[in-house]
Structure 1
Amino acid sequence: MIGTLNALIDLVEDALDQDRPGPDIDIAAFARAHATTEYHLRRMFASLAGMPVSEYIRRRRMTRAAAELVSGAPDLLAVAVRHGYGSIEAFTRAFRAVHGTAPAQVRRDGGPLRTQPMLRFRLSVEGRVPMDVTITERPAFALVGHAAEVPLIHEGVNPHIQAHIASFAPEEHQRLKELGNTDPAGILAVSDGPEPDAAEGTPLRYLHGVAVSKSTTVPGDLDIIDLPAGSWAVFASSGAFPETLQSLWAATATEWFPSNPWRLRPGPSIVRYLEFTETHATCELWLPVERA
């Protein structure tokens, strides 16, 4: 996977070297050519780089464009077209989003600029997060409960999720517990949705609920996420909340997936809490996987 990610970086640079790079790089075709999936590739890139691949491409394009402007490129439209934009207005919006200033100002004053260096991925097995992992095969099952759309937050407690959970009476939590009848057992925190490399703030579907077998009759007032049969990687975590869980999530990308013959497949991530206080949690992180 590390070699594949570096090959993707080279593909981005090759596209930028063209006189007129196309508006998009075909990530799906690239993933197929490297015997992986677009979903897994995007998820691993975002986890390791700290940004979606689309954002990295945009930053690199604007870094190249800024270098041309600082060097005295006289024709702003030609620079815009060379970097895939059909008008000065669209190019200016993209340029300002990256650099915080207009291209005309950079051409005149030489800055300020926020450049994006070319990335290079390297595998570093540090073992800083113990990886207690079990691969389990599960038949088709469903997740049922109460869903809400919340913004994606990578670090710290998500107050929107907290408010969603707090809106339910204790009796509703008990009803859900009694409905659950399969693994993962207990009340679950389910994150379903956005694209695998979604940026922070992107809406995701969060479900507070339980797992039930496919034959279970589900009350009509509950939301349902149907899941096919497949493999799940179950990572155990115990420590300060939410830092330990978020560090574990990152470690799956930086340490576990690059050195194991598994890759992510589309599906929600599930957190099963075994013990929980405001500052400490013992839990399991369930991720849908398939053989690489």
Structure 2
Amino acid sequence: MAAAEKALWFIESHYSEELSLGRIAEVAGVSPFHLARLFQTMTGCSVVRYLRGRRLTEAARRLADGAPDILEVALTSGYGSHEAFTRAFGEQFGLSPAGVRERGSVDGLALVEPWRSAGGAVVALDEPRLEHDDTRFIAGLGCRYTPDTTQGIPAQWQRLFLHHAAALPKRRTAFGVFCNSDDEGNFEYLAGVDVPGFGGLDPALGTLRLAAREYVVATHHGHVSAIRGTWQAFVGDWLPRSGLQVADAPEFEKYSADFDDASGIGDVEIWLPLKA
């Protein structure tokens, strides 16, 4: 099911762009016909219907939060006109975009949430390494997730770079930070970049200071949609045998300079904080 998982990732990361079954299939590395069969088997719906539902769901959330310009929401949701967007929105939810904005809530709407795959097999892991990292300042967009909603993370990255790129440094390293977890497995995720400091930032951005400390680091190779397998190998297999103890502190994924956010291919490092 690797091709279908790549397609899911690409949709979540690029749903605001002009997408076709052919383009999604090209990224997934299979023919459009093959992808259509795989996707339907895996999710229970067609690629096009899933893409439409995800676009409209994210648009509904923005409108419920008070987005002032419906045309701008339409355009960043992949629709070329106010009319086309309003028609599709009404077919999906039975309400107009203006109606959802007025009610200020998505409760009761037929939302299409990110589909969560069952996960793949544990991967072969490169030997992790120990690293010291100095204090870092991370700025970006934060969101809280449950264990069943983490497939929404790629869309969070898309929102960051679609709506806040101008407020971020031009030279930057991307970090996905996991923090403030609870006993139910829920956590906060900050999709952001390292910044020199927090002064003068867009107030819409969330911020997090990572204290200087020791880490153990593993590297994920290949497509980012398969990173769960690397996490499983690192945390579920290697770490218990290492004798190391992880601290109750933020952990993060650090995206390499060669990571391509258009294809989802490139190294991603997983940094786990260690007890002193």
User: TM-score, normalised to structure 2's length?
Assistant: 0.46
Higher strand share: 1
Rg larger in structure? 1
User: TM-score, normalised to structure 1's length?
Assistant: 0.44
